[in-house]
Amino acid sequence: MFNINENIINIGVKDLKSDLFEGQYTIKNGIMYNSYIVLDEETTIFDTVDNKFTQEWLNNIRSVLQNKKPSYLVIHHIEPDHSGSIADFIKEYPQTKIVTNSKSFAMINQFFKLDNEIEKIIVKDGDILSTGKHIFKFIFAPMVHWPEVMITYDETSKILFSADAFGTFGIYDEKDGFTSEEWAQEASRYYIGIVGKYGVQVQSLLKKVSGFNVEKICSLHGPVLNRDLGEYINLYNIWSSYEKEKDGVVIAYSSAYGNTKKAVELLDISLKEKGVKTILIYDLARCDLSKAVADAFRYEKIVFASITYNAGLFPMMHNFINALVSRNFQNKDIGIIENGSWAPMAKKTILSMLEKCKNLNFTQNNVTINSALDEKSTQEILFLADELSK
Ligand code: FEO
């Protein structure tokens, strides 16, 4: 728990127990489920927390409020990492009015069957709730990350309660200093993995809030952003418009016996010799897939290097490309290294998987290896490195 200002307190919890978020994203450094309490003539709580932490969160509320009762619980997002403690909250504070939109109320009922027990305030996009000094404006943010998501702008404190937007994996202490680049390491993995498909909707949200005077962003995961906000908003703008963020080449490979890996190593050396400064290599059988996916989106160029397997792609490469395509992969320069001992099919399969992606520029020089590098495929690697370095 920590104060955002004299009236607003983060009463959220830190999850260092879970190994995976949403059952798929590694969270070696944990994750925060933020929840905020705003003390005013009428007290408001923004969001609950994952149900593994319900008692800790309720204790936080008790310790802040003592015997006072909250007037409102605002629900920004029904995904269980935030709504998991609604039922227990209502048991303890049955008089609290639940404030959210009609889609959320339908989902609350799906998850918790509480419809008859709660006092509802159904809000529409742009509606205002005044609690005394504070004036909260609700802004719908459909598909950032679920269809019912909304965010809140507090006109009094100039805080944007942004739900999942601007969230990140990791645990931050309120005194932690960090740069936007340090934040982006994990925030990009979070954003691109979880919301990446919905760039159009994120762009629409950024447009909606662009006229607000925002001094702090309080998301549901990670730190309060309270300085250099332009840098964070710029990163969100780049990610959600699928523009190139960084120069450099990502090489994602799958190799069964090390021969494709040798080709990747040769490409790495050749790119360096030609002056390419940033090269990120991911062995798809061993890396954190979500990190490889995030960097595939962030960097300008990517090389897929794969063996042929069951007349198609090695499963990890198939999974990786599928993860990219399902998140609207676009605007890239792409090279391909394929390997096949009797009927190379990797390149054909990669091209077919990427068919629906927009604005992909494929290199003129690609590489076909028959089992192991030979003179011809070595030369092809050098040509590919030359083309990628320009
Ligand atoms: Fe943090 Fe979409 O839940």
Instruction: Kindly give the confidence (pLDDT) of every residue in the chain, 390 residues in length, as a single tens digit, with 9 standing for 90 and above.
Output: 999 999 999 999 999 999 999 999 999 999 999 999 999 999 999 999 999 999 999 999 999 999 899 999 999 999 999 999 999 999 999 999 999 999 999 999 899 888 667 899 999 999 999 999 999 999 999 999 999 999 999 999 999 999 999 999 999 987 778 999 999 999 999 999 999 999 999 999 999 999 999 999 999 999 999 999 999 999 999 999 999 999 999 999 999 999 999 999 999 999 999 999 999 999 999 999 999 999 999 999 999 999 999 999 999 999 999 999 999 999 999 999 999 999 999 999 999 999 999 999 999 999 999 999 999 999 999 999 999 999
Ligand 1 atom closest to residue 220's alpha carbon, by position in its atom list: 1
> Cα(8) to centroid of ligand 1, in Å?
22
> How much is the pTM?
0.94
Cβ burial of 156 (10 Å; 0-12, 13-18, 19+) is middle
State the pLDDT at residue 372.
97
Q: What is the pLDDT of residue 60?
A: 98
**Which residue is it, tokens 């260092």?**
16
Q: Which atom of ligand 1 is nearest to the CA of 194?
A: 2
- How many Å apart are CA 204 and CA 227, to the nearest integer? 23
Give the Å distances, CA to CA, from 308 to 78, 179, 252, 366, 373: 42, 42, 15, 15, 15
Q: What separation in Å is there between the alpha carbon of 274 and the centre of ligand 1?
A: 43
- Give, using CA atoms, the residue closest to atom 3 of ligand 1: 79
For 51, which DSSP code? G
Q: What is the pLDDT of residue 174?
A: 78
Cα 79 to middle of ligand 1, angstroms: 6
Closest-lying ligand 1 atom to the alpha carbon of residue 221: 1
The amino acid at 239: W
The ligand 1 atom nearest the CA atom of 22: 3
Ligand 1 centroid to Cα of residue 334, in Å, is: 32
Ligand 1, residue 163: give the atom nearest the CA: 1
Q: CB–CB of 302/334 below 8 Å?
A: yes
Distance 256 CA to ligand 1 centre (A): 36
Q: Which of 154, 174, 152 is nearest to 162 (CA)?
A: 152
Q: Which residues pair with 46 in a beta bridge?
A: 36, 74
Taking the centre of ligand 1 as the mean of its atom positions, its distance from the CA of residue 163, in whole angstroms, is 8
Ligand 1 pocket list (CB less than 6 A): 77, 79, 81-82, 145, 164, 220-221
Start-to-end CA span in the chain (Å): 50
Amino acid code (one letter) for 91: K
Cα(250) to centroid(ligand 1), Å: 28
Neighbour-count burial of 92, counting CB atoms closer than 10 A to its CB (0-12 exposed, 13-18 middle, 19+ buried): middle
> What residue type is 21 in one-letter code?
F
Residues 182 and 222: their CA atoms lie apart, in Å, by 12
pLDDT reported for residue 97: 97
The predicted pLDDT at position 296 comes to 98
Which ligand 1 atom lies nearest to the CA of residue 145? 2
Residue located nearest, by CA, to atom 1 of ligand 1: 164
Predicted local confidence at residue 115, as pLDDT: 64
